[in-house]
Structure 1
């Protein structure tokens, strides 16, 4: 749950919003003017602010501009007003407000705005690098993607070949966070070694399976550094 600062000069509005948000499990702090709002923002660092536009000392738009100009708009702000206009809403959005609620505020609109603000402000973990591995499927093996714990958790090394359903499967993960040519060569080497082992080193059958002419296939295997003799022995 979140800490939400409610800034409104009307006691009844502060009480109602506090009751609703507390029932939703949030911690609610209240301020009735800009001075109290400044102090509360510094003291509690709220996750979201509900800020009234029309207040007796400093209005909400002015306070929003102040926070924005000082680099203090580190939380989503939802503006509230019973006398707002489209121009007011546009100005508030221009200065960093994420939403504008017109009073009287319905429960549904309030909770939706709060949920959207908290979701937008939630930190997003960095996406893990994606690597590919071999997975058994009907008719053979296919490369599938899965996340790695770190960019260097998976490296390209030798192949451990074993025989099983529909032939051997290379027990290797492919790191994709590398130059395209290196990644492509690593995949092609594994691909041809797989087919050579599966066909017991028969170049004729591998040529048929891969759709390459034998001469082209020989050149490709040599270029990739594939040990043809090793695969003919079925190792």
Structure 2
């Protein structure tokens, strides 16, 4: 049993996540904004935090930076958002976030991310023999390479085997190269999930087919191995 802090300004999401995690046997603390999250963290460090990026008072990335700067980022943090950009996800990971979940969050993805986060959190003190410290620029790339956005690697809904390139992206490379690598993995993920259907991939990614083809060619994505239409 673990204590999990859920930080989200949407009541429905807080209640849903709290219910799911409580059913799994965890103790859930809920905060509707950054200030409540700060107060909860000061009372006691949770075993894991689910942190929304877009909130009205202070956004999740800013709160993550605060915790890191104050030495309070001693627990795994999983970021959540339905509108985050790749740059935002990369930034959060470099600061010290363990993972990123895109809303709406599938049940199996949530449970798997929580399981991985709690496992990482329990392993950190044993490995270091002391309380975990916030990720520094020197070790942020190691954290990111090992755990950045792993939920893109598998699709528990369809059971398909999907690309796992995101788990090996190095954050020691220039931002443009990291963005290209991430986008390549992103499109290969959707191509695999949609069995190569360019029509469905265009719908899922919100791109026109002409733009999609141009983007895939630019990124060097091999379309020959996909069925496509």
- Give TM-score, length-normalised by structure 1: 0.52
Question: Number of residue pairs matched?
Answer: 127
Report the RMSD for the aligned CA atoms in angstroms. Answer: 1.5
Report 1:63-74 matches (<5 A).
63-74=63-74
More helix by share: 2
Q: 1:156-215, CA deviations, whole angstroms, 9 ceiling, x for partnerless residues? A: xxxxxxxxxxxxxxxxxxxxxxxxxxxxxxxxxxxxxxxxxxxxxxxxxxxxxxxxxxxx
Specify the structure having the higher radius of gyration (Cα). Answer: 1
Give the Cα–Cα distance (whole angstroms) in 1 for the partners of residues 32 and 105 of structure 2.
Answer: 18
Report 1:131-146 matches (<5 A).
none
Give the Cα–Cα distance (whole angstroms) in 2 for the partners of residues 97 and 68 of structure 1.
Answer: 10
Q: 1:30-89, CA deviations, whole angstroms, 9 ceiling, x for partnerless residues? A: 000010000001113100000000000000000000000111000000000010111111
Distance 1:125 1:52, change over 3 A: closer
Give the Cα–Cα distance (whole angstroms) in 2 for the partners of residues 125 and 32 of structure 1.
Answer: 29
Which portions of structure 1, spanning 4 or more consecutive aligned residues, are displaced by more than 2 angstroms? 123-127
Instruction: Please name the residue that 2:42 is paired with.
Output: 42
- Give TM-score, length-normalised by structure 2: 0.54
Distance 1:106 1:72, change over 3 A: same
1:96 and 2:96 equivalent?
A: yes
The higher relative CO (CA closer than 8 Å, separation ≥ 6) is in 2
Give the Cα–Cα distance (whole angstroms) in 1 for the partners of residues 118 and 124 of structure 2.
Answer: 12
Unaligned 5+ runs, structure 2: 128-229
Report 1:85-234 matches (<5 A).
85-123=85-123
